[in-house]
């Protein structure tokens, strides 16, 4: 492999259009489309008693109104349970438009189509829906108490009870020298991409075909869902993800009601229809994540080595479970992190609440798992009076223990077997990077300025690149251009660049000649989607394999022309040559022309491949048996299991003891995602992830009141940080290549966000000496903690007081 | 007598080109640019003034185009991200230094926030004394009012420093692309 | 999030503006910078029948700084006031407070008078008008009148200005001799509306003893109020004044509400802390201005 471009910080190719305003996002498409708007439930739980559209009918520009009554066939059935699981014993999904009952504020009840969005909103505003309100469940604790039920037939509100264990935890705890039990909470947040969702559909009645653009992370699956729900043949539906303005998980969920309703309307009306979600709709009509209550019991010895871990968590899945129990499984299995846990039992109960559905948000259950495990480490250190880094070190899986089998089953149904890593290496790099051992001096310095300083750390292991598969197609054209396609989508991760780097390296062509298309079912119909940090691992490897196939074929054809052994050939800068024999070359583009025997010459290059131009053997067919015309190859990568990336973060906070404002003053990251295709892009992913981690720890939460009204459904009150709130981040790298895939890479997309909440909670606890067991935390809440006389104090704060006294 | 209208015809100079449109008076400038004039480079992320994705320059000053009605800019000149680059008079474009810097510093990921940042930063850098080295306070002030969900801002700040350095008169002279102080950039 | 339909006028003079407002009746609303009104329209939390855009009315965009004070016209943008040195010399609170209003792009369009007319108790400039004992000039078809801040602010987002009326300017009296000011706030994100903010004025006597201390708070209470803290530090030499005691007093005099971002108690805490901190700074300035 020519490794020239692989591993280089190549500047992004997608930027050329994005920096001049030539990106093509969903709402940039279809200038003449009709616009859809929705009447959404204002109640968290209610029966619909009637829908009166009369008032809307005279709105100028109104084209159509749809209610549940207008849905037919599969559209009138509940939305799919995308990921069924045997432990999801009581799955529930909504309908594209509410069927008699609403279960969260924001649930779509009526769709209005008008000539523009202003008019569609005018009409929607005039539609009167009658509701009979029902009791409302908000939050895991209320769901657990189950005084009322979200779904009448599920009186305990439990959708699933996910359970895994690796031994007899009761016995192990009983035999442990020490045990600790505690409860902690983590709140709801959301992906909040800057571009909302959106769908544009165009029906061609002449050939009965449907083209749909969706701001999605899973165009192939959206296509399948639309075909199934609208009873169309798959080949009559094409779905394209245009430029997508961020996803972070919310756009992997599908089919959204709007993804079905907009195409339905386009077909019925015979006109393009578009829906571009506005910000308020995104808050109440998309998805959130993260709320859990965690009850943890840990057994350990006097040295701080864990002997047993027992976790019982309650996970708020919102009103419905279309995405199954992926998040509970991820929490359950990723919780163990980089540590050797001799006996582990975990139960995650996924419970219904009358709130927006919960589907993966970058990290997808890992931040919660990391929070559980890392705060456990902090507690053990606190009880034993040990350094928090030291307790972690004692529990880490050693570098010589790989592959390491946790005896758990991951979200892809495969065993959790760590492929490679060096966790002690991460930890020592981290303590160096953040200056862990010099923290007391920093604390004293801050104290002299009247500030409370504290440091915290958190480590994680992240299963990335789960299957089942992704594919890649690479084709060299007679012009020398190399077309690359994969079905997986892009939301800003720079796939056009990384994948081009891989192909340029594998094939030996200039990157300028490579053109990458992602997420377009016309170009590549088989794919799974962009989630779980899988793009580089899955599509990257599939594309590498496809490129290798092309290379092999190119060498075979070139070898004939050059009368050489393919093993002696190399490709450099788009030219095939015989190694060590200058002059014996043939451009790859000529090989591409020759690969496709022609009858008709449509241009100069093609002439070379026509039947009278080519010398060939009369005994062989122009296309050999088993061969195909064209210099192209399609290949798939399907891993036996996920590959496990890892990292360690440390945060240093300064707290103003008068106002209780919390300032993250240092943030250090050590990161291992195996071989790196483009370090610039990976660093960008880390920066973005850390920002979301800090946001989730200190700023963002979905604040529901007891009636299920989202109190902060705007950017005014949902505090997505500006630059002013995000600390500078220092990064160090470690590379333990994955033995599982040809490129040795591991995923990098989600890592940055995972340890933020745990590390910052730890730092605040360190600074204040008060137990921090509910995150995120704001200054007003920290004030409540500090002034409460009976709020738990850490043992470390007692020891520190003794020292200073 | 003042006319009270539900629809108006307006003329706006957008990126140097006079454009006419007849619009309902309630049309937001952001929608008018995107949907009536086809300039979709200006993005809409919140429509309540917080995110800054929709920022454009009205008579050279950054404003939220989601918080201005199109009829209010009748007669004014508007610059959008599409108007930041300069014609090179050879059929191509010379990017604004801040556009170059964004690419060089990997200051964008999904690119949705990018147009708002670019016009805000371009205006901010043009308004300051270019001969002075940019301070961190200036950088913070220039980028402080726009949201980005992808980048964590580090590279956006880096790009501002980069662009400011490129726009310093001495630097600008020897790149040959743009003369300092002629008001071009 | 698109505004409901409305009718629109952009009169070219104040008289015309008043005429249109009168003709259009109760459903008419003034549109100034639009930075508060347009979000409300887009969320359909407000749906006036007619918007009377005053942006083309001549003569409303001046900042007039005299020995008496600063008169800020209805079309003066926050950004212009922030950068007006003459105004800052006469009444330093103006620039200090304005710097905390939103982010630059909002300040480029939003008007200071608009934010007073909007009467948001979380807005900086309503408090500053109160603290400086300012007033506004209201033009109606019947003529002009001056309305003092106490009579202006009736409730949250509610003023005494009704019917066909345009607030044509706001007047902020000059900082008194031997006085200093300071302004500080705590916001969740920089540029956000404050969780709590404090503006203070400290006045010394000729012997550099504390003569008067007044404060006004942001996001505390339903309407801006001025709290007199003099008793806590009255007559104390400025360098020996117990500003913490003034902060303590302030805490007992305010009655904040809790919301998503802060409990009432936390706001009360901040009132104390910000009072103490700003008083120290303001006193230093008062001292300078007394010495000079
Ligand atoms: C993201 C964001 C953040 C913000 N942060 C802050 C902040 O931190 N602090 C702060 O104080 N403000 C903040 N604002 C609001 C901003 O300061 C507004 O500019 C200001 O509150 C209103 O001024 P305006 O000129 O925009 O008024 P408009 O929005 O045009 O009008 C507001 C109201 O006042 C009335 N009105 C306006 N002018 C007059 C007049 N001359 N006569 C009679 N009535 C009039 C209008 O009819 C309307 O009811 C923020 C706004 C946004 C969008
Ligand atoms: S869209 Fe205008 S500020 Fe967000
Ligand atoms: S690059 Fe995606 S929001 Fe900024």
B113 CB less than 6 Å from ligand 2?
no
Distance CA A528, CA A519 (A): 10
Chain segment C246-266, per-residue pLDDT in tens: 999 999 999 999 999 999 999
For chain C, domain boundaries? 7-53, 63-173, 179-287
The confidence score (pLDDT) of residue B176 equals 40
Distance C74 CA to ligand 1 centre (A): 11
What region does A14 belong to: left with phi over 0, alpha with psi -120 to 50, or beta? Answer: alpha
Chain segment A749-762, per-residue pLDDT in tens: 888 999 999 999 99
For chain B, domain boundaries? 7-83, 86-181
Are B71 and C16 an interchain contact pair (Cβ–Cβ within 8 Å)?
Answer: no
> Could you tell me the pTM of the whole model?
0.95
Burial call A604-628: b when 16+ CB within 10 Å, e when fewer: ebeeebeeeeeeeeeeeeeeeeeee
Instruction: Nearest chain C residue to A126 by CA: give it.
Output: C4
List, for chain B, all residue ranges whose pLDDT scores fall below the cut of 70.
1, 171-185
Distance B47 CA to ligand 2 centre (A): 5
Q: Among partner residues B47, B64, B120, which is closest to C1 by beta-carbon distance?
A: B47
Residues A219, A252 within the same domain = yes
The helices-and-strands tally (H runs, E runs) of chain A is: 20, 29
Q: Which residues of chain C lie closer than 8 angstroms to B141, CB-CB?
A: 104
The length of chain B, given as a count of residues: 185
Task: Tell which atom from ligand 2 comes closest to the C-alpha of B51.
Answer: 4
- Which DSSP string do the residues of A131-162 spell out, in sequence order? EEE-----SHHHHHHTSS-SSTT-TT-EEEEE
List residues in chain A touching C: CB distance below 8 A.
117-118, 121-122, 125, 278-280, 658-661, 699, 703, 711-712, 714, 716-717, 719, 721-722, 724-725, 778-780, 783-784
C58 touches chain B (CB under 8 A): no
Report which of C258, C292, C172, C92 is spatially closest to residue A784, judged by C-alpha positions: C258
Average pLDDT on A687-698 reads 97
Are C260 and A121 an interchain contact pair (Cβ–Cβ within 8 Å)?
Answer: no
Report which of A475, A452, A472, A339 is spatially closest to residue A406, judged by C-alpha positions: A339
Distance C77 CA to ligand 1 centre (A): 10
Distance CA A661, CA A779 (A): 5
Domain assignment present for A92: yes
The confidence score (pLDDT) of residue A616 equals 67
Residues A112, A244 within the same domain = yes
Q: Enter the tokens of residue A418.
A: 């760590």
Average pLDDT on A681-694 reads 95
Please check the confidence at residue A419 and state whether its pLDDT lies above 80: yes
Report which of A477, A578, A35 is spatially closest to residue A266, judged by C-alpha positions: A35
Distance CA A247, CA A530 (A): 9
Task: Tell which atom from ligand 3 comes closest to the C-alpha of B156.
Answer: 4
Q: Among partner residues A22, A491, A687, which is closest to B155 by beta-carbon distance?
A: A687
The confidence band for A614, taking pLDDT boundaries of 50, 70 and 90, is low
Distance CA A111, CA A113 (A): 7
Chain segment B152-182, per-residue pLDDT in tens: 999 999 999 999 999 998 765 544 444 333 3
- Rg of chain C (C-alpha set): 19
* CATH class held by domain C179-287: alpha beta
The more confidently predicted of residues C205 and A3 is C205
Residues A297, A365 within the same domain = yes
The confidence band for A601, taking pLDDT boundaries of 50, 70 and 90, is confident
A446 close to A439: Cβ distance less than 8 angstroms = no
The confidence score (pLDDT) of residue B180 equals 34
Residues A118, A263 within the same domain = yes
Please check the confidence at residue A722 and state whether its pLDDT lies above 50: yes
Q: Which residues of chain B lie closer than 8 angstroms to C41, CB-CB?
A: 26
Other CB atoms within 10 A of residue A148 CB: 16
Average pLDDT on A277-300 reads 97
> How many domains would you assign to chain A?
3
Report which of A344, A315, A328, A364 is spatially closest to residue A464, judged by C-alpha positions: A364
Are C265 and A783 an interchain contact pair (Cβ–Cβ within 8 Å)?
Answer: yes
The confidence score (pLDDT) of residue B177 equals 43
Which CATH number describes the domain made up of C63-173? 3.30.465.10
Distance C112 CA to ligand 1 centre (A): 8
CATH of B86-181, one of 2.60.40.10, 3.40.1440.10, 1.10.150.120, 1.25.40.10: 1.10.150.120
In three-state secondary structure terms, A650 is: strand
Chain segment A363-396, per-residue pLDDT in tens: 999 999 999 999 999 999 999 999 999 999 999 9
Distance CA B17, CA A800 (A): 69
The confidence band for A618, taking pLDDT boundaries of 50, 70 and 90, is confident
A352 close to A89: Cβ distance less than 8 angstroms = no
The confidence band for A805, taking pLDDT boundaries of 50, 70 and 90, is low
Report which of A164, A163, A92, A160 is spatially closest to residue A350, judged by C-alpha positions: A160
Distance CA A221, CA A322 (A): 14
Residues A400, A481 within the same domain = no
Best A40, A117, A780, A788 member to test C by mutation, with max C CBs in 10 Å, is: A780
Please check the confidence at residue A203 and state whether its pLDDT lies above 70: yes
Average pLDDT on A580-586 reads 87
Closest-approaching ligand to the CA atom of A27: 2
Report which of C10, B112, C217, C22 is spatially closest to residue A23, judged by C-alpha positions: B112
Average pLDDT on C62-88 reads 97
Residues A489, A539 within the same domain = yes
Q: If you search the block for the tokens 């920290």, which residue do you land on?
A: A782
The confidence score (pLDDT) of residue A610 equals 77
Residues A460, A474 within the same domain = no
Task: Report the run of H or E that residue A412 belongs to, with start and end.
Answer: none
Residues with Cβ within 6 A of ligand 3? A 194, 246, 492; B 108-114, 148-151
Q: Among partner residues C5, C261, C273, which is closest to A659 by beta-carbon distance?
A: C273
The confidence score (pLDDT) of residue A624 equals 81
Residue A53: CATH number of its domain: 3.90.1170.50
Distance CA B14, CA B82 (A): 9
Are A246 and B82 an interchain contact pair (Cβ–Cβ within 8 Å)?
Answer: no
Average pLDDT on C10-22 reads 97
Report which of A353, A359, A376 is spatially closest to residue A294, judged by C-alpha positions: A376
Average pLDDT on A212-239 reads 95
The confidence band for A804, taking pLDDT boundaries of 50, 70 and 90, is low
* Strand residue runs (E) in A681-742: 729-733
The confidence band for A677, taking pLDDT boundaries of 50, 70 and 90, is confident
Task: Tell which atom from ligand 2 comes closest to the C-alpha of B49.
Answer: 3
Please check the confidence at residue A592 and state whether its pLDDT lies above 60: yes
B64 CB less than 6 Å from ligand 2?
yes
pLDDT, chain C, mean: 96
Report which of C69, C96, C65 is spatially closest to residue C82, judged by C-alpha positions: C96
Residues A341, A374 within the same domain = yes
Distance C122 CA to ligand 1 centre (A): 11
Are B34 and A23 an interchain contact pair (Cβ–Cβ within 8 Å)?
Answer: no
- A610 DSSP β-pair partners: A598
B8 touches chain C (CB under 8 A): yes
Report which of A295, A314, A292, A345 is spatially closest to residue A146, judged by C-alpha positions: A314
Distance C39 CA to ligand 1 centre (A): 10
> For residue A552, what are the CA distances in angstroms to A546, A548, A625, A636, C139?
10, 6, 17, 16, 84
- Please name the chains neighbouring A, where neighbouring means 3+ C-beta pairs under 8 angstroms: B, C
Please check the confidence at residue C277 and state whether its pLDDT lies above 90: yes
Distance CA B129, CA C262 (A): 40
Average pLDDT on A85-114 reads 97
Distance CA B139, CA B159 (A): 10
A703 close to A716: Cβ distance less than 8 angstroms = no
Residues A438, A499 within the same domain = no
Please check the confidence at residue A3 and state whether its pLDDT lies above 50: no
C50 CB less than 6 Å from ligand 1?
no
Distance CA A377, CA A366 (A): 16
Average pLDDT on A357-362 reads 96
The confidence score (pLDDT) of residue A303 equals 97
Distance CA A422, CA A405 (A): 15
Q: Enter the tokens of residue A414.
A: 């495969």
Task: Report the run of H or E that residue B142 belongs to, with start and end.
Answer: helix B136-143
Average pLDDT on C199-215 reads 96
Domain assignment present for A493: yes
Are C12 and B8 an interchain contact pair (Cβ–Cβ within 8 Å)?
Answer: no
B132 CB less than 6 Å from ligand 2?
no
Q: Among partner residues C3, C44, C190, which is closest to A724 by beta-carbon distance?
A: C190
Q: Which residues of chain A lie closer than 8 angstroms to B154, CB-CB?
A: 687, 726, 728-729
Are A722 and C189 an interchain contact pair (Cβ–Cβ within 8 Å)?
Answer: yes
Best B149, B160, B163 member to test A by mutation, with max A CBs in 10 Å, is: B149
Distance C39 CA to ligand 2 centre (A): 10
Q: Enter the tokens of residue A615.
A: 């010398």
The confidence band for A519, taking pLDDT boundaries of 50, 70 and 90, is confident
The confidence score (pLDDT) of residue A749 equals 82
**Which domain range does residue A548 map to?**
467-595+630-637
**Angle between the A795-804 and A366-384 helix axes, to the nearest 10 degrees?**
40
The more confidently predicted of residues A748 and B153 is B153
The confidence score (pLDDT) of residue B171 equals 60
User: How far from chain centre, in Å, is Cα C249?
Assistant: 23
- Rg of chain B (C-alpha set): 17
Residues A299, A275 within the same domain = no
Are A278 and C270 an interchain contact pair (Cβ–Cβ within 8 Å)?
Answer: no
Report which of C265, C246, C243 is spatially closest to residue C255, judged by C-alpha positions: C265
C-alpha angle with apex A35: A232 to C41, nearest 5 degrees? 150
The confidence band for C107, taking pLDDT boundaries of 50, 70 and 90, is very high
Please check the confidence at residue A249 and state whether its pLDDT lies above 50: yes
A138 close to A705: Cβ distance less than 8 angstroms = yes
The confidence band for A522, taking pLDDT boundaries of 50, 70 and 90, is confident
Which CATH number describes the domain made up of B7-83? 3.10.20.30
Residue A520: CATH number of its domain: 3.30.365.10
The confidence score (pLDDT) of residue A615 equals 66
Average pLDDT on A282-309 reads 97
The more confidently predicted of residues C108 and A603 is C108
Alpha-carbon dihedral sign for residues A250, A252, A255, A258? positive
Q: What percent of chain A has pLDDT over 90?
A: 83
User: How far from chain centre, in Å, is Cα C262?
Assistant: 21
Average pLDDT on A126-147 reads 97
- Which DSSP string do the residues of A457-493 spell out, in sequence order? EEEEEEEE--SS-EEEEEEE-TTS-EEEEESS--SSS
Domain assignment present for A624: no
CATH of C7-53, one of 3.40.140.10, 3.40.605.10, 3.30.43.10, 3.40.50.720: 3.30.43.10
């Amino acid at each position: 492999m020519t490794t020239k471009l692989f591993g280089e910080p190549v500047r992004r190719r997608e930027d050329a259009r994005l920096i001049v305003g030539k990106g093509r996002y969903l709402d940039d498409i279809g200038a003449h489309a009709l616009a859809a708007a929705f009447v959404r439930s204002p109640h968290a739980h209610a029966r619909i008693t009637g829908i009166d559209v009369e008032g809307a009918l005279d709105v100028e520009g109104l084209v159509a109104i749809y209610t549940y009554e207008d849905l037919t066939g599969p559209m009138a059935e509940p939305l799919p349970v995308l990921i069924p699981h045997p432990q999801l014993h009581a799955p529930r999904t909504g309908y594209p438009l509410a069927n008699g009952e609403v279960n969260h504020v924001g649930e779509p009840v009526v769709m209005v189509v008008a000539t523009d969005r202003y008019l569609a909103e005018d009409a929607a505003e005039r539609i009167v829906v009658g509701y009979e309100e029902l009791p409302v469940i908000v939050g895991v604790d209320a769901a657990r108490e189950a005084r009322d039920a979200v779904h009448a037939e599920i009186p305990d509100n439990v959708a699933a009870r996910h359970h895994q264990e690796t031994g007899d935890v009761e016995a192990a705890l009983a035999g442990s020298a020490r045990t600790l039990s505690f409860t902690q909470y983590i709140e709801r947040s959301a992906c909040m991409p800057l571009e909302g969702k959106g769908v544009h559909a165009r029906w061609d009645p002449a050939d009965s075909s449907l083209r749909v653009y969706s701001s999605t992370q899973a165009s192939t699956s959206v296509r399948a869902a639309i075909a199934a729900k609208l009873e169309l043949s798959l080949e009559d539906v094409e779905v394209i993800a245009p430029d997508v303005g961020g996803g972070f998980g919310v756009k992997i969920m599908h089919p959204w009601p709007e993804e079905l309703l907009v195409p339905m309307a386009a077909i019925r009306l015979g006109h393009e229809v578009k829906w571009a979600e506005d910000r308020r709709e995104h808050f109440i009509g998309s998805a959130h994540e993260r709320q859990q209550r965690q009850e943890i019991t840990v057994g350990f010895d006097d040295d701080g080595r864990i002997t047993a871990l027992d976790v019982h968590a309650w996970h708020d899945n919102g009103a419905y479970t279309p995405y199954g129990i992926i998040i509970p499984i991820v929490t359950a299995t990723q919780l163990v992190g980089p540590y050797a846990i001799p006996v582990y039992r975990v139960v995650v109960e996924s419970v219904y609440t009358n709130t927006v559905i919960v589907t993966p948000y970058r990290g997808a259950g890992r931040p919660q798992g990391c929070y559980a495990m890392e705060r456990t480490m902090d507690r053990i250190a606190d009880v034993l009076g040990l350094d928090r880094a030291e307790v972690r070190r004692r529990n880490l899986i050693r570098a010589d223990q790989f592959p390491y089998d946790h005896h758990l089953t991951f979200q892809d149904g495969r065993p959790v077997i760590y492929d490679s890593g060096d966790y002690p290496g991460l930890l020592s790099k981290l303590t160096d990077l953040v200056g862990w051992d010099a923290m007391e001096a920093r604390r004293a310095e801050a104290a002299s300025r009247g500030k409370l300083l504290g440091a915290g750390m958190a480590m994680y292991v992240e299963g990335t690149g789960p299957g089942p598969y992704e594919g890649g197609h690479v084709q060299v054209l007679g012009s020398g251009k190399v077309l690359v396609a994969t079905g997986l989508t892009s939301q800003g991760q720079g796939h056009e660049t990384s994948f081009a780097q891989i192909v340029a390296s594998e094939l030996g062509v200039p990157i300028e000649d490579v053109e990458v298309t992602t997420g377009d079912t016309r170009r590549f119909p088989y794919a799974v989607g962009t989630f779980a940090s899988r793009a580089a691992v899955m599509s990257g490897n599939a594309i590498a394999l496809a490129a290798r196939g092309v290379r092999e074929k190119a060498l075979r054809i070139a070898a004939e022309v050059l009368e050489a052994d393919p093993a002696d050939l190399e490709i450099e800068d788009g030219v095939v040559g015989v190694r060590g024999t200058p002059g014996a070359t043939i451009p790859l583009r000529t090989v591409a022309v020759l690969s496709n025997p022609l009858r008709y010459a449509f241009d100069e290059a093609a002439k070379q491949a026509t039947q009278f131009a080519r010398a060939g053997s009369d005994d062989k067919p122009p296309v050999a048996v088993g061969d195909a015309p064209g210099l192209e190859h399609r290949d798939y990568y399907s891993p036996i299991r996920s590959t496990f990336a890892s990292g360690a973060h440390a945060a240093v906070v300064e707290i103003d003891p008068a106002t209780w404002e919390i300032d993250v003053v240092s943030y250090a990251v050590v990161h291992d995602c195996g071989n790196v295709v483009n370090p610039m892009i990976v660093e960008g992913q880390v920066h973005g992830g850390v920002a979301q981690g800090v946001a989730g720890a200190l700023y963002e939460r979905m604040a529901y009141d007891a009636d299920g009204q989202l109190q902060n459904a705007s950017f005014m009150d949902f505090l997505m940080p500006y630059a002013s709130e995000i600390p500078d981040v220092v990064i160090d790298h470690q590379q333990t290549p994955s033995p599982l895939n040809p490129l040795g890479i591991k995923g990098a997309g989600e890592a940055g966000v995972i340890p933020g909440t745990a590390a910052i909670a730890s730092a605040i606890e360190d600074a204040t000496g008060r137990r921090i067991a509910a995150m995120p935390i704001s200054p007003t809440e920290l004030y409540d903690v500090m002034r409460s006389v009976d709020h738990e104090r850490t043992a470390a704060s007692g020891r520190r007081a003794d020292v200073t006294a | 007598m003042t006319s009270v209208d539900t629809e108006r015809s307006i003329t706006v100079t957008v990126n140097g080109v006079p454009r006419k449109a007849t619009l309902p008076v309630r049309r937001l400038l952001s929608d008018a640019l995107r949907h009536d004039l086809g300039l979709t480079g200006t993005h809409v992320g919140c429509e309540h003034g917080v995110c800054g994705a929709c920022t454009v320059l009205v008579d050279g000053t950054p404003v939220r185009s989601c918080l201005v009605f199109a009829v209010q800019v009748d007669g004014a000149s508007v610059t959008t991200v599409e108007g930041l680059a300069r014609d090179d008079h050879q059929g191509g474009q010379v990017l604004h230094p801040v556009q170059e810097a964004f690419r060089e510093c990997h200051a964008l990921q999904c690119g949705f926030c990018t147009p708002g940042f670019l016009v805000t930063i371009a205006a901010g850098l043009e308004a300051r004394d270019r001969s002075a080295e940019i301070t961190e306070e200036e950088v913070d002030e220039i980028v402080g009012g726009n949201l980005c969900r992808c980048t964590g801002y580090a590279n956006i700040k880096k790009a501002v420093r980069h662009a400011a350095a490129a726009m310093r008169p001495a630097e600008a002279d020897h790149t040959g692309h743009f003369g300092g102080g002629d008001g071009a950039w | 999030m698109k505004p409901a339909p409305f009718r629109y006028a952009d009169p070219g003079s104040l008289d015309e503006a008043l005429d249109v407002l009168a003709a259009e009746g109760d459903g008419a609303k003034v549109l100034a910078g639009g930075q508060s009104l347009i979000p409300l329209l887009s969320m359909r939390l407000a749906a006036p029948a007619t918007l009377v855009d005053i942006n083309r009315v001549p003569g409303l965009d001046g900042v007039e700084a005299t020995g008496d004070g600063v008169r800020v016209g209805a079309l003066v943008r926050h950004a212009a006031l922030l950068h007006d040195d003459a105004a800052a010399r006469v009444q330093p609170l103006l620039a200090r407070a304005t710097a905390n209003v939103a982010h630059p792009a909002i300040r480029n369009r939003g008007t200071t008078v608009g934010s007073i007319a909007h009467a948001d108790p979380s807005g900086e400039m309503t408090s500053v008008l109160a603290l400086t004992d300012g007033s506004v000039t209201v033009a109606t078809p019947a003529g002009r009148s001056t309305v003092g801040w106490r009579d202006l602010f009736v409730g949250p987002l509610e003023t005494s200005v009704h019917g066909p009326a345009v607030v044509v300017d706001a007047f902020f009296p000059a900082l008194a001799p031997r006085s200093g000011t300071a302004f500080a706030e705590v916001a969740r994100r920089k540029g956000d509306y404050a969780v709590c903010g404090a503006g203070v004025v400290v006045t010394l006597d000729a012997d550099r003893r504390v003569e008067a201390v007044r404060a006004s708070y942001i996001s505390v209470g339903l309407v801006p109020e001025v709290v007199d803290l003099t008793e806590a530090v009255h007559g104390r030499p400025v360098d020996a004044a117990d500003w913490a005691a003034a902060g303590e007093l302030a805490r007992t005099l305010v009655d904040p509400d809790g919301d998503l971002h802060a409990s009432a108690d936390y706001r009360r805490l901040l009132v104390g802390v910000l009072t103490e901190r700003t008083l120290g700074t303001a006193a230093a300035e008062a001292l300078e201005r007394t010495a000079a």
